[in-house]
Structure 1
Amino acid sequence: MTTLTQTLADFTVETRFEDLPSSVVHETKRLLLDTVGCALGAVDTPSGKIALDYVDILGGAPHASVVGSSRRSSATAAAYANARLANVLDADDTFPTSTHFGNATVFSALALAELDRKSGRDLLGAIAVGFDVGARIGSWMGAPMQIENGKVIGWNELGGPAATITWAAIGASAHIARLDGGQANHAFGIGGSNSPQPTLRKWAESVEQPMYKYADAGWCAEIGVSSALLARLGSTGFKDILDGENAFWKFYGSPGHDDHALLAGLGDDWQILNTTYKPWPCCRWIHHPLTAFAQLLERHALRPDEITRVVVRANPFALTPIFREQRPGDWLSAEFSHAHALAALVHAIPPGPRWYDATTMNDPRIAAFRERVTVTAEPSSSNIAEWMTGGQWRGVPGGVDIHARGTVFSATADNATGDPWTPATHFSDAQIRRKFGVMTGLDADGDGPEELRHAARDVADIVMSLDEHPVERLTASLDALSRSMRAQGVAA
């Protein structure tokens, strides 16, 4: 039986841009702009520089752009570097299976769009379809947590989000490479068989973080591109990788699967509409307490020097040692530190690469504030299973208690800023554009050198009207922005 595999493969290659609802087209543009911004913000980080140097070593035909630089490389190498860059700051979108899909989806599709000289409509269609494939397979396998008698008791021993990122890249690549249904079926088999190892449990237990966290988003994107190109050349893979007793969910280590979640509403219920955006560059689990913290700071005009103590009330997965760390030793660890995130926010550090540059990491004000932050459990989120729908979570409460002015200011956020399910937390187009500007080197108000402001605005305008342009228009504007960033010393 190849029912599940072939059905999803057919959807991947038969769906066209014209089939996308206007809301999905608009959301795809927003995701594209946000993801490109996250990549641009990382080009001057240690991990970003490694990605760029790695592309130089690989060489290859100059088929595709490497964002934030003057480099061009092969489609696989460009997809690798760009997707890795997009995940470096942990500022990229998060789907409610605890997965970042934008990085590999966007940049596998962009690399092949450049290789095959596709239109902006082609690129947008590939991103929407690829995202749906990854999100559906993630929902099919369920969230990466152990649930016993309706209670969450920890992370799965195996499984996790790494492979589903790859599946999104496979879907996007198969779509834009214009495979037929049979070739897409083989691309699924090739990519699924070569997915990353399920290292989430190892990541959850590690205080010292590797640069790729639980998976290198670059490799996920590269697997997607390679799978589509190999299938287009005639290479074969398992045709039933999603079917039968030994389907993908089982050999990847997921404790179960939900076939209904995989195909329900296929072509009608677009999963990209459920992705969440990050106003702050840190783990999404920190965003609920951060949302409550930001609300209290604004409501009561609290200043850093007035705050004597902050108690973060976190969900069960944000209570491990790395989330409690008050003295993160490097920027990777700081991305998971409640204390560092609150310190950067209260001191009005623009939420982008500056949160983790040497000036901020070594700022005595930041260090002193971190020491005043402790982390405990949020009682209302003790059972995350209550917040699950179809293998996805819909908000997980977190809060803060701020000790200042001789009193305690408290707030709890059921949804974090950037969640699409409530009007109060939905990330507006203006917020996405503002975040994009900060990632390119502008300040939080969008101010900066005129050339940089113009170049950043041009990219944003082109992305938001990409269905009217060829992909070359986008990459040319990105090249101009990269040159402007380099002139200002904020790019490689």
Structure 2
Amino acid sequence: METIIEQLAGFSAGTRFEELPAPVVHEVKRLVLDSIGCAFAAVEHPKGRIGIEYGRMVAGQGNAAIIGTPHRASVLGAAIANGELINALDMDAVVPPGHVTPYVLPGALAIGETSDASGRDLIRAVAVAHEMSWRFGKAMDYLRDMKDGQLDTPKVFGFSSTIFGATAAIGMLQRQSAETLADSLSIAGYISPVQSMMAFFHHAPSTTIKYTMAAALVQAAMMAAHMGLLRHRGDVQLLDDAEHGYARFIGTRRWEPARITDDLGKRWGFIDEQIYKLYPHCRILHGPLDCLIGIVEQHDIRPEEIDGIDLLVEGFVEKPTWLTQDIQHVHDGQFSIAHGMAMGAHRLKPGRDWQDPRHVFSPSVLALMKKVRHRAHPDYVKELSSHASARPSRVEVKARGQTFAAETLYPKGSPSPDPDNLISTTELIAKFHHNAEGVVPRRTADAIVNAVMDLDRECDVSMLMTLTTHTSA
């Protein structure tokens, strides 16, 4: 009987583009476009600049593109830089277990670009990487796990399991056999980064690497794939041994491996839970931001007119990184509830402006932070128990001697019973164009959109990545 790793390796090596359902192909294109746009928006962000500088330092020169720059680096250096760029603003897509694309896409882009991979090759690899990551996310602890009708947040959590999908994508583009991929995947498990996210949540000011550093995981995945290719032997029993294997040493309390393997290759689940972010802020605040921005735009309320902002938000937020009022670094604004709401009230178009020091440290924004109050929504647990995407939110804005209120159950971008809640491809393209402004000319941005949407026909990975390195806007 095949082990779990052998099944994952067979799934990766055996998946043919022609077998991918059309919705999977379409979703991968959306993910690639959104991620390139997020990287464009981050080229001047501190986290993005650090990623670029470090990526250029490691492993010597090469021919792989660093998105939004004129620089080319080794496949490892480019993958590291692009992972940091995609995640820098926290505006990239999420799917269980959380942020996935900044970990699984960069290695695939770098290897695909330098190995004459077709667009279909890239789509196939990225689809497998997301499906695999989603399946691990469903098999392990989740941030919003429930027990006896109450939120049961794990003590140890992170996105380290995305290393399996990241390694699979690289191995597929290297054309590894199923046998070699099994070695690569098991090596990935052995060198998986630690799950450090809870330290990030509970400390303020928190580390600017955030929950799991993309650079570290991308580097580990690249190493795992190459070590398998060079014929290091892996341990294919790693996922089957609950007592001594990956589930034990990565710290998950829950381990349901059937969620990884059931209907593998027959049912694609990640597309049903894929979420896109409109704001460069932790997803926790997106429901309240939808409400607040709707209020201030509908009633044309200026920040100086606001006497108070009261919000009901999900009960998970009572952790220092969200409660901080001490904004020392632009990164702190990505998670602070008070700062995020103050920024939203200023009606800046979501994108790099939300991370521009001129706005992050604006006296008007910092003053409005003091007028923001929040508490847990009383229906949060009940609604979450009914639907995994539910984030009940209510906002009241006191201004002009009146109280303006709005509420929502599902933040824009989340799968929900209301299909209009999803972000359309037209909306994603608009987000991309805004993120690309000032980094590439509009004609180049248009060409990138066309290239991504044509990945399954004429465009190859090298053609796409060449477009992303133009920098004169």
- So what's the TM-score if we normalise by structure 1? 0.90
Q: Does 1:408 align with 2:398?
A: no
Cα deviation code 1:69-93 (max 9, x no counterpart): 1221221221111101111111111
User: Does the Cα contact within 8 Å between 1:319 and 1:375 map onto a contact in 2?
Assistant: no
4+ long deviations beyond 4 Å: none
Deviation at 1:145, TM superposition (A): 5.1
User: Does the Cα contact within 8 Å between 1:51 and 1:85 map onto a contact in 2?
Assistant: yes
Distance 2:251 2:326 in 1: 34
Distance 2:435 2:21 in 1: 29
Aligned position for 1:229: 226
User: Does the Cα contact within 8 Å between 2:65 and 2:466 map onto a contact in 1?
Assistant: no
Q: Secondary structure at the match of 1:467?
A: coil
Deviation at 1:413, TM superposition (A): 2.0
Distance 2:16 2:205 in 1: 44
Cα deviation code 1:353-376 (max 9, x no counterpart): 211212102322212222211121
Q: Secondary structure at the match of 2:134?
A: helix
From 431, 454, 471, the equivalent of 1:465 is: 454
Percent sequence identity is 29
User: Does the Cα contact within 8 Å between 1:135 and 1:164 map onto a contact in 2?
Assistant: no
Cα deviation code 1:194-233 (max 9, x no counterpart): 1111112211101112221121112212222222222122
Deviation at 1:163, TM superposition (A): 0.8
Aligned position for 2:75: 75
Aligned position for 1:433: 429
Distance 1:168 1:375 in 2: 37
Deviation at 1:147, TM superposition (A): 4.3
Q: Secondary structure at the match of 1:44?
A: coil
Aligned position for 1:319: 318
Deviation at 1:405, TM superposition (A): 3.4
Matches within 5 A, 1:417-456: 417-421=412-416, 422-441=418-437, 452-456=441-445
Q: Unaligned 5+ residue runs, structure 1?
A: 443-448, 486-492
AA partner of residue 133 (structure 1): M
Deviation at 1:298, TM superposition (A): 3.9
Distance 2:432 2:184 in 1: 33
AA partner of residue 305 (structure 1): E
User: Does the Cα contact within 8 Å between 1:114 and 1:472 map onto a contact in 2?
Assistant: yes
User: Does the Cα contact within 8 Å between 1:459 and 1:478 map onto a contact in 2?
Assistant: yes
Aligned position for 1:488: none
Deviation at 1:309, TM superposition (A): 0.7
Aligned position for 1:478: 468
Q: Secondary structure at the match of 1:262?
A: helix
Relative to 1, partners in 2 of residues 1:321 and 1:368: Cα closer, same or farther, differing over 3 Å? same
Matches within 5 A, 1:55-74: 55-74=55-74
Matches within 5 A, 1:16-165: 16-97=16-97, 99-144=98-143, 147-153=146-152, 155-158=153-156, 160-165=157-162
Distance 2:393 2:171 in 1: 39
Distance 2:408 2:332 in 1: 24
> How many residues are treated as equivalent by the alignment?
469
Aligned position for 1:197: 194
Q: Could you tell which deviates more after superposition, 253-262 or 377-386?
A: 377-386
Distance 2:170 2:259 in 1: 22
Cα deviation code 1:283-312 (max 9, x no counterpart): 011112112223333444433333211112
User: Does the Cα contact within 8 Å between 1:130 and 1:173 map onto a contact in 2?
Assistant: no
Distance 2:182 2:333 in 1: 41
Q: Secondary structure at the match of 2:414?
A: coil
Aligned position for 2:342: 343
Relative to 1, partners in 2 of residues 1:145 and 1:403: Cα closer, same or farther, differing over 3 Å? same
User: Does the Cα contact within 8 Å between 1:108 and 1:172 map onto a contact in 2?
Assistant: yes
Cα deviation code 1:383-410 (max 9, x no counterpart): 676156xxxx323222212223333333
User: Does the Cα contact within 8 Å between 1:55 and 1:81 map onto a contact in 2?
Assistant: yes
Q: Secondary structure at the match of 1:424?
A: helix
Distance 2:277 2:229 in 1: 36
Deviation at 1:252, TM superposition (A): 0.7
Aligned position for 1:490: none
Distance 1:244 1:367 in 2: 51
Distance 2:149 2:234 in 1: 38
Q: Could you tell which deviates more after superposition, 136-145 or 378-387?
A: 378-387
- So what's the TM-score if we normalise by structure 2? 0.94
Q: Does 1:253 align with 2:241?
A: no
Q: Secondary structure at the match of 1:402?
A: strand
Distance 1:333 1:381 in 2: 25
User: Does the Cα contact within 8 Å between 1:293 and 1:411 map onto a contact in 2?
Assistant: yes
Aligned position for 2:205: 208
Q: Secondary structure at the match of 2:35?
A: helix
Relative to 1, partners in 2 of residues 1:385 and 1:432: Cα closer, same or farther, differing over 3 Å? closer
Relative to 1, partners in 2 of residues 1:397 and 1:175: Cα closer, same or farther, differing over 3 Å? farther
Cα deviation code 1:66-124 (max 9, x no counterpart): 11212212212211111011111111111143x11111222111111022110011111
Aligned position for 1:354: 353
Deviation at 1:319, TM superposition (A): 2.4
Deviation at 1:327, TM superposition (A): 4.0
Relative to 1, partners in 2 of residues 1:61 and 1:249: Cα closer, same or farther, differing over 3 Å? same
Distance 1:6 1:59 in 2: 31
Q: Does 1:394 align with 2:384?
A: no
Deviation at 1:459, TM superposition (A): 1.1
AA partner of residue 238 (structure 2): I
User: Does the Cα contact within 8 Å between 1:313 and 1:378 map onto a contact in 2?
Assistant: yes
Q: Does 1:365 align with 2:364?
A: yes
Aligned position for 1:3: 3
Distance 1:348 1:435 in 2: 16
